[in-house]
Amino acid sequence: MDPVIQRIRNELKDHADPEIEKASRRFFKEEIRCYGMKTATVTAIAKKYWKEVKSRDRGDIFSLCEDLYRSGYLEEAFVVSTWVPNLADRYERQDLAMFRSWIGKYITNWAACDGFCNHSVGDFIVKYPECIGELKLWARSGNRWMRRASAVSLIVPAKRGYFLSDVLEIADILLTDKDDMVQKGYGWLLKEASRLHREEIFSYVLQRKRSMPRTALRYAIELMDHEKKKEAMRKDW
């Protein structure tokens, strides 16, 4: 084991709080492993050790990230989510295959999924937009977190107005998904896309509201005015 990994784990253990650990479990339906600490504390530790590892070869840093993921601890996944976006200017096209592998092997809850995908994968797609088709393959995966990842990876770009047609295509693939974590993921994506494409998203929702689960629908229209929300939620069948 690389000595920096052991030092990170020792510091995480030193900050562990049994009360926070117990309280954290209430936010998840699935079982999680966590030390128990505030997100700000984890972020501070991640930034501290980033200063130590940032000069290393990118492949070496990715290896450290995989070591952190293997532990299964939520806070160690958060360290990865803090480090990897800092490598965005060093991303290479083949990195997406590694990201897909990490999601498939190590992501087991919404917090780890969103923490990694919002920026790490989102930044990758902005740098290599020709790879966005990969997300559409993820949307058809049998892995619920891979399907959620296909949507939440575009949250930040969609908020900036990018990739509207791809956002709608992914939402269509996920439209009738039975998993509430997936429904919330693509509903959130539509909500963020609505910031700069309000009418397009509203039109999309109206056309598909008979098929769209109410959970996804509520997320999608969250930023819309009262009248639009009322129209979207009205049962007209």
CATH, residue 176: 1.25.10.90
Q: What's the structural domain count of the chain?
A: 2
CB burial of residue 56 (10 Å; 0-12, 13-18, 19+): middle
User: How far is residue 214's CA from residue 201's CA, in Å, rounded to a whole number?
Assistant: 16
What's the predicted TM-score (pTM) here?
Answer: 0.93
User: How far is residue 48's CA from residue 50's CA, in Å, rounded to a whole number?
Assistant: 6
pLDDT, tens only, 24-79: 888 888 888 999 999 999 999 999 999 999 999 999 999 999 999 999 999 999 99
Of the three residues 90, 111, 142, the one that is the final residue of a domain is: 90
Residue 95 lies in a domain: no
Assess whether pLDDT exceeds 90 at residue 83. yes
Residues 228 and 130 grouped into a single domain: yes
User: How far is residue 127's CA from residue 91's CA, in Å, rounded to a whole number?
Assistant: 8
Of the three residues 44, 66, 90, the one that is the final residue of a domain is: 90
Mean pLDDT of the chain: 95
Q: What pLDDT sits at residue 179?
A: 97
User: How far is residue 210's CA from residue 128's CA, in Å, rounded to a whole number?
Assistant: 35
Residues 128 and 227 grouped into a single domain: yes
Assess whether pLDDT exceeds 90 at residue 85. yes
Give the range of the structural domain holding residue 56, as residue numbers without chain letter.
1-90
Give me the DSSP letters along 180-191: HHHHHHHHHHHH
Residue 22 lies in a domain: yes
Alpha helices (H) in 29-94, listed in sequence order: 39-53, 58-70, 74-83
Structure tokens at 108: 């087991």
Contact 192, 218 (CB under 8 A): no
Residues 83 and 46 grouped into a single domain: yes
User: How far is residue 64's CA from residue 53's CA, in Å, rounded to a whole number?
Assistant: 9
Residues 40 and 153 grouped into a single domain: no
Assess whether pLDDT exceeds 90 at residue 139. yes
Residues 226 and 111 grouped into a single domain: yes
